[in-house]
Amino acid sequence: MNAFLRKEFRESVRWLPLGWLLIGGLLWANLPGLDQLDKVMELATSLGVFLAIGSSFIALGLSIAQFAPDQRSAARAFLMHRGLSPEQLFQGKLIIGVAVYAMAIWLPLLVATLYLEWIGPLRLPTSARQTIPAWVISVYAFSFYFGGVMLACSNARWIGTRVLPLAIAALITISGMSTLLSNAVILEWLFLALGAFGLFAMLRASQDAFDNGARRVSPGMGLRSHWSRSLVLTVSSIVASMTAILFPTNFTSRNEIYRYISPAFDESGDAVYELMERGYAVERAKISSDPDAMVIEKVAGEAIIFSSSQVYQVYLMSTAQETVTAQPFSPRKLRSMRSEVFVYDPKGYVLAYAAVPSGDRTDRATWLLSYVVGRDKVSRHMETRGLPFQTKPTVVSNNLIVTKEGMYWFDKEAAKVKHIVTMQVDGYGWEQIATSHRIFLVSGSRLLEYSDPSTLTSLDSLQPEASIEVGENLLLLGMQSRFLYKDKDDFTVIRQTGAFRYLVVQKRPGKELERFTSSPPKSMQAQTSHLGPSAFYNGLVCMALPLAYILISGVIMLIAVFGFGVQMPEIGQDGGLASGMIEGAALIMFQAILACVLAYAAARHRGLSKKARVGWSIAGALGGFGVAVAIIAIYPRCFREACTCCKKPRRVELLVCEHCGSEWELPARDGIEVLETPSESENLVLQ
């Protein structure tokens, strides 16, 4: 085995400089300089994405360099005919593949990791943690190695069938990128687990492809012995066919004028719907609880202005979502001032960096950690830091921090932190007017407004300036939400709740609180492309999505709604969405039937049994057009020859005619044969 490993290493290691060049270049381009604080925020993502691309190329190239030359018949016979089993040969190649891959990718990445740990957090908010996604992704990108083995060992005539396994390799690599997503633990682990299973399936499939060489799954044998290769090719075919069908959507609606409806306030301060085109209002209707009272008024090229006094557009951020979607490995810039930047450290602290001018170049300032804010104190160094915040904090002004647990005030000079608002905060937003701040907190169905609390002298009893019960949660699906708001004396809140549904809450002096949901006039809705691009786009999407995907999504949605009480976006009863859904469902059913027929035809063409044909047809209905492609990729072509007995075309690989049951006739003899081995002695073999 050692001799074989040495030979494999010698053959593979010569490609190593190319790998170093590629990965070294990518790391060099992505690592931040000491003056590039902003780059640190995206470091985990950019490292992950670029390493996914680089690792994929290296894994694919390495496997092709290792396996393709051995596929020539003489080379394969020379390699395989030795005192080592095919499994040992594959394992040997894999060991060397992993070793060279590790040297090409993990060595440079290790250097990058040490560099980031060395410079942070004193000079930049970096740490070795930021490279964790890159490490994970580089492991998952190794699936391209197995894809390359399958590609090299395939004898498919069409290149499209050969490269099919790369589709699932891409999918596995993307699943590894879920580490970049968020703190959404369940989904992340689900994706990672699926990716790990895919990696295992590809390992088995590539070993199967290497062991069997040109031998494909015989129509006569079950898929059980080749489950991994069949699974990989089926999933790859489905992914590839979906991608191919959806590809034209890249070219749709590029030149369309995108029209949408937006709530606003007009010059007189009344709430209106505006039909927007290229950022300008073209139509306007005053919002009213009575739909018949809304009259459309044409306006010509008027820009929407929110900066007029007492009218604000506030983006509400959900604290729950902020916590869930925060990347576990990336710092996040919370607030930036002229010479001070607040950064959220994923360990639960707010780091304040001060700019250190670098020579004459003010734009090339480097940074130095100035203090660390924890839940209980402000410290000068990370080593003496206090307790971490339990949920992701957000710095809303120079000395205010909002978390899910309330609002904190801190004083860096006195090294003090005080919990000034103690209630559960579901959402927050702020608006800066001149030098003062208005801070909005959402707690349940209440909206509270605080006016510039940083100027208050007594911080023990911080009271809201305005508090209004809006009747429902302002945060749609727990995500961020935008609402329009007028000053506290004339309180109007408009929030979009569905495709064309808006929540309007009005409180006018001397009047009772009015709360109603409203929709823009139908004629205004009809002019929008708010529901998405053209019918062509929707048609392609419906043709691409397999029925199984729709069913699984539906089940997940039902579980979310009835099991966890998730609030779903409303579907306009009178909009175009409902009719669009019916058309879409019809198209999906048509696609499922067509895919079922195609799968049956492909199975018949490959000479599969009746039971297998039915099975594949069901798979076709659920999996879409890709299943027919999978059948063609998995099974070899079926050749037939006229039966000498019944004259019907019979399959050449079967010992007896499938029509009449007759055996093959011996080739006609010319009377010149000298055969000492009687043809009847077939049973000699395998006895």
Question: Where do contacts with another protein occur on this chain (CB under 8 A)?
Answer: 1-4, 6-7, 10-11, 72-78, 80-85, 88, 213-215, 639-641, 652-655, 664, 666-667, 670-679, 681-687
CB of 28 to another protein, least distance (A): 32
Which tokens belong to 153? 């060992």
CA pair distance 468, 149, nearest whole angstrom: 64
CB of 82 to another protein, least distance (A): 4
Looking at beta carbons only, is 360 or 673 nearer to another protein? Answer: 673
Looking at beta carbons only, is 8 or 283 nearer to another protein? Answer: 8
To which residue do tokens 């050449």 refer? 652
CA atoms within 13 A on the CB side of 494: 24
Looking at beta carbons only, is 87 or 489 nearer to another protein? Answer: 87
Quick check: helix, strand or coil at residue 323?
Answer: helix
Would you mind telling me the total number of residues written for the chain in this entry?
Answer: 687
Looking at beta carbons only, is 3 or 558 nearer to another protein? Answer: 3
CB of 123 to another protein, least distance (A): 48
CB of 215 to another protein, least distance (A): 5
Quick check: helix, strand or coil at residue 495?
Answer: strand
CB of 160 to another protein, least distance (A): 20
CB of 38 to another protein, least distance (A): 49
Looking at beta carbons only, is 582 or 675 nearer to another protein? Answer: 675
For the sheet with 259-265, list strands across it.
259-265, 271-277, 280-286, 296-303
Which tokens belong to 285? 């209707």
For residue 121, whether the previous peptide bond is cis, meaning omega lies within 30 degrees of 0, is yes
Nearest to 420 by CA among 439, 392, 445: 439
Quick check: helix, strand or coil at residue 286?
Answer: strand
CB of 548 to another protein, least distance (A): 34
Nearest to 604 by CA among 633, 628, 578, 625: 628
Looking at beta carbons only, is 74 or 257 nearer to another protein? Answer: 74
Looking at beta carbons only, is 9 or 115 nearer to another protein? Answer: 9
What's phi and psi for 655, nearest 5 deg? Answer: -75, -30
Which helix (H) or strand (E) element contains residue 537?
Answer: helix 535-544
Looking at beta carbons only, is 190 or 652 nearer to another protein? Answer: 652
Looking at beta carbons only, is 1 or 593 nearer to another protein? Answer: 1
Helices 577-605, 626-634: crossing angle, 10 deg rounding: 20
Looking at beta carbons only, is 380 or 648 nearer to another protein? Answer: 648
CA pair distance 230, 502, nearest whole angstrom: 50
Q: Is the dihedral of CA 77, 82, 87, 89 positive or negative?
A: negative
The torsion defined by the Cα of 106, 108, 113 and 114, in degrees rounded to 10, comes to: 120
CA pair distance 399, 391, nearest whole angstrom: 18
Looking at beta carbons only, is 74 or 303 nearer to another protein? Answer: 74
Quick check: helix, strand or coil at residue 570?
Answer: strand
CB of 105 to another protein, least distance (A): 25
- Rounded to the nearest angstrom, the gap between the alpha carbon of residue 430 and the centroid of all alpha carbons in its chain is 30
- Would you tell me how many other CB atoms lie within 10 Å of the CB of residue 58? 27
Confirm if 446 and 470 have CB atoms less than 8 A apart: yes
Rounded to 5°, the CA angle 572-573-577 comes to 55
Buried b (16+ CB within 10 A) or exposed e, 504-524: bbbbeeeeeeebeebbbbeeb
CA pair distance 616, 619, nearest whole angstrom: 5
Looking at beta carbons only, is 78 or 189 nearer to another protein? Answer: 78
CB of 6 to another protein, least distance (A): 8
Region of 310 (left: φ > 0; alpha: ψ -120 to 50; beta: rest) is: left
CB of 216 to another protein, least distance (A): 10
CB of 152 to another protein, least distance (A): 16
Looking at beta carbons only, is 257 or 655 nearer to another protein? Answer: 655
Looking at beta carbons only, is 208 or 449 nearer to another protein? Answer: 208
CB of 678 to another protein, least distance (A): 8
- Would you tell me how many other CB atoms lie within 10 Å of the CB of residue 178? 21
CB of 669 to another protein, least distance (A): 9
Nearest to 586 by CA among 543, 528, 638: 543
Looking at beta carbons only, is 255 or 677 nearer to another protein? Answer: 677
Region of 588 (left: φ > 0; alpha: ψ -120 to 50; beta: rest) is: alpha
CB of 192 to another protein, least distance (A): 37
CB of 11 to another protein, least distance (A): 8
Nearest to 206 by CA among 154, 160, 171: 154
Quick check: helix, strand or coil at residue 565?
Answer: coil
- Rounded to the nearest angstrom, the gap between the alpha carbon of residue 608 and the centroid of all alpha carbons in its chain is 37
CB of 145 to another protein, least distance (A): 22
Looking at beta carbons only, is 186 or 221 nearer to another protein? Answer: 221
Nearest to 101 by CA among 210, 12, 2, 27: 12
Confirm if 55 and 143 have CB atoms less than 8 A apart: no
